[in-house]
Amino acid sequence: MHNVSRMITGEQSDFLSSLYNEYYAKIYKYTLYRVGDHSTAEDLVSEVFEKVLRKYYTYNPNKAKLSTWIFTIVNNTIINHHKKNQYYSQAVNLEMMDSKYRLDDTLIEQELKEHLLNSIMALDDRQRNVIALKFGANLTNREIAQIMDLTESNVGTILYRSLKRLKDILKQEV
Q: Which residues contact 3 (CB under 8 A, 6 or more apart)?
A: 57
pLDDT of residue 8: 60
Which contacts of 156-161 are long-range, i.e. CB under 8 A and separated by 24 or more positions?
Answer: 158/126, 158/127, 158/130, 159/130, 159/131, 159/134, 161/127
Which pTM was predicted?
Answer: 0.60
Q: In terms of Cα–Cα distance, which of 126, 157, 156, 125 is closest to 141?
A: 156
Evaluated on CA atoms 16, 137, 146, 129, the torsion sign reads positive
pLDDT of residue 94: 40
pLDDT of residue 95: 39
Torsion of CA 17, 19, 21, 22, to 10 degrees: 160
Q: In terms of Cα–Cα distance, which of 140, 153, 161, 145 is closest to 26?
A: 140
Residue ranges in the chain whose pLDDT is less than 50:
1-5, 87-105
pLDDT of residue 98: 46
pLDDT of residue 7: 53
